[in-house]
Amino acid sequence: MKSHTLSVLVENRAGVLSRVAGMFSRRGFNIESLAVGPCEEPNMSRITIVVNGDDGVVEQVTKQTNKLIDVIKVSDLTERESVERELALIKVAAESGTSRAEILQIAEIFRAQVVDVGSKTLVLQVAGDTGKIDALEKLLRQYGIKELVRTGKIALLRGAKTVKSSK
Amino acid sequence: MKTGARTLIEALQREGVDTIFGYPGGVVLPIYDELYDSSIRHILVRHEQAAAHAADGYARASGRVGVCLATSGPGACNLVTGIATAYMDSIPVVALTGQVPTALLGNDAFQESDITGITMPVTKHNYLVKDANDLDQVIREAFYVARTGRPGPVLVDLPKDVSTSVVKGNRPLPETVSLRGYQPTYEGHVRQIDKAIDLLVGAERPLVYAGGGVVLSEASPELLEFIETAAVPVTTTLMGLGAVPGDHPLNLGMLGMHGTQSANYAVTECDLLIAVGVRFDDRVTGKIETFAPNAAVVHIDIDPAEIGKNKKVDVPIVGDVKAVLRAILRRMKKRGDTANWVARINTWKAQFPLRFRDDERLHPQYVVRQLSDVLQGEGIITSEVGQNQMWTALYYRFTKPRTWITSGGLGTMGYGFPAAIGAHFARPDLPVVDVAGDGSFQMNIQELGTVAHYKIPVKVVILNNMYLGMVRQWQELFYDRRYSYTELPPVDFVKIANAYGVEGIRVEEKGGVREAIETALATDGPFVLDFRVEREENVFPMVPAGAAINEMIGVREE
């Protein structure tokens, strides 16, 4: 069992996300993360899905996803050279001067940005691979995380290669 | 001024639709008003579920796309079982549903249901049309998607204002449909085909396992030529019955849970399994680890997702079964030596024929045999689900594709009677008989109204044992004969038929079977035959759930 990152190019139509996500859930495929947004072409979207399973499961996931009429292309980026990023916003308690200073120091090490400063809280923005965000989250827990949101992973192939409609 | 409803009717005519099975309601009134003076025949069913099954039966009997129509909300929801049935068996159906006006969408309006959401898991694709100007294109795509590639049901949801609004201008419709996310592969990969041929030539005990895909792709002639040329025995699934003539010397009959002994033994002993248009359904394979345990597997299917889904495959060939078999026939230069294997199979066939206790009592298998003898393959048989279905699969001799219409994947009780109605409109030249159980028949018994109304000459053969027979059989075998809620009180089906204006006969003795069947077939209109059969008869052979398919029960060892 390991995580696979799938890049799914879809028609930009109402209900497509529901078709893809619904197919995953009813076939018992476990979605770890899912991110969706517009891509380089106006009438397409790109969904990045992280799914856990052995090779057989991932093969089925890929084939079943490909079967959907609105899905243009599915690529498994796992074994290929790719850049993967996730974005998180973390609202952390920063009541005393000491903890505030420490949090800012940690943020600097992680290249996280402070995007909001309140009298009792800081909001950090951090981008990176899943492991980095997990690590930051773990460190900040001791100060008290008030709220946290993560985007889910997005990924692109490195170099000139692209995941494009071959059709 | 052309409305959306008018556009819809014209688009359906352009697709060659001659018959629609449907039920009117508030939001589809504009469509019904256009239907009123169109050339398309509309059959008013008594329940929307029957409309979907009838469209499905029409598609299976004709090879064309079946069409059903229902209103929004409850009407649309009632189609769901029929759509799911078609989906599981890959049947091309276009389901048209009314929807509340777009302005009310999502407001929980009267008779609103999110039917595209509801049917997403049971359609190949579906559409919610929000602009009447898209209708032409959507209808064309819907029919294209339904019938091409691996066929399946497509639903088109039509809000009332889309039907009533005026369509602007005549947007030219492209000649062909091109969907970049949908490009089925028809031709098999040549290298894979050659690999399969090499395996075949080298195999000592090859076996073809053929299914519904053969029927769907009209590949029966190619399959027959293939098994004869290569001298390979063949077993078919429930859905594949009729793809190969039932009495062909190389045909082992059906395999699986209620398969013949020879078919199941052949699967277990074969060294090469050529799976053609099948999906390794659990009702076929039994315990998957012991299914064809010593065989290399070649799998030919148009749907890549079926390959390797349940069983590891050595040579996958993605493509249309007909095209792939043609390519194999073209490229196969020699054949292997299967004489010993065929001889072994013939020994099994002689040793383990299908049989039942044919005494003076009225056994359901006897009724099916008589029906088979009378019709001689010249007719269409539909079935309900359960014992009636399995007895028909085993004891009726199917000789041609598209003459056996049954709910294989979903196992829908109540399917056969409305499907028979659809089959009649597809093939009015052939007699159509629904073999039913008393339980299943009561699931869509209201369609007696439809057959009476249009004088549809569908015959219903009820194998009446006053039980939910198959469930009772499981209770007998696996639940210590505790018949929990499977006994049905006697029903006077002849009186019910008569009340609808349909003729019927009850038969309680073996002697009356033949004459009753002949009388029903000689009668012009619909007919109901109520056979009061042996109550606790079982379907054998049987593979208990979870067992290997060569571990059958209810067989007499020789």
Residue among A18, A64, A71 minimizing CB distance to B181: A71
Return d(Cα B204, Cα B200) in angstroms, integer.
8
N-to-C CA span, chain B: 77
- Residue A160 contacts B, CB cutoff 8 Å: no
Return d(Cα B376, Cα B63) in angstroms, integer.
22
B141 is known as an active-site residue: no
Backbone φ and ψ of B424, nearest 5°: -60, -45
- Residue B116 contacts A, CB cutoff 8 Å: yes
Backbone φ and ψ of B508, nearest 5°: -115, -5
Along the 558 residues of chain B, how does pLDDT read in single tens digits?
899 999 999 999 999 999 999 999 999 999 999 999 999 999 999 999 999 999 999 999 999 999 999 999 999 999 999 999 999 999 999 999 999 999 999 999 999 999 999 999 999 999 999 999 999 999 999 999 999 999 999 999 999 999 999 998 767 787 789 999 999 999 999 999 999 999 999 999 999 999 999 999 999 999 999 999 999 999 999 999 999 999 999 999 999 999 999 999 999 999 999 999 999 999 999 999 999 999 999 999 999 999 999 999 999 999 999 999 999 999 999 999 999 999 999 999 999 999 999 999 999 999 999 999 999 999 999 999 999 999 999 999 999 999 999 999 999 999 999 999 999 999 999 999 999 999 999 999 999 999 999 999 999 999 999 999 999 999 999 999 999 999 999 999 999 999 999 999 999 999 999 999 999 999 999 999 999 999 999 999 999 999 999 999 998 754
Return d(Cα B516, Cα B102) in angstroms, integer.
54
- Residue B106 contacts A, CB cutoff 8 Å: no
Return d(Cα A66, Cα B182) in angstroms, integer.
9
* Continuous segment of H or E residues that includes residue B252: strand B251-254
CB contact under 8 A, A165 and B182: no
Q: What angle do CA B279, B474, B462 make, to 5 degrees?
A: 85
In the chain, the amino acid numbered B235 is T
Mean pLDDT across the stretch A95-105? 93
Residues B15/B65, Cβ–Cβ less than 8 Å: yes
CB contact under 8 A, A67 and B308: no
Does B159 sit behind a cis peptide bond, omega within 30 degrees of 0 on the bond before it?
Answer: no
Of B19, B55, B21, nearest to B39 by C-alpha is B19
pLDDT score, position A163: 78
CA distance B95 to chain A (A): 17
CA distance A85 to chain B (A): 27
B41 SS3 class: strand
pTM of the model: 0.96
| Beta-strand runs (E) in A54-132 | 71-76, 82-93, 113-117, 121-128
The torsion region of residue B537 among left (phi > 0), alpha (psi -120 to 50) and beta comes to beta
pLDDT: which is higher, A78 or B175: A78
pLDDT score, position B13: 97
Kindly tell me the sign of the dihedral angle through the C-alpha atoms of A73, A77, A81, A85.
positive
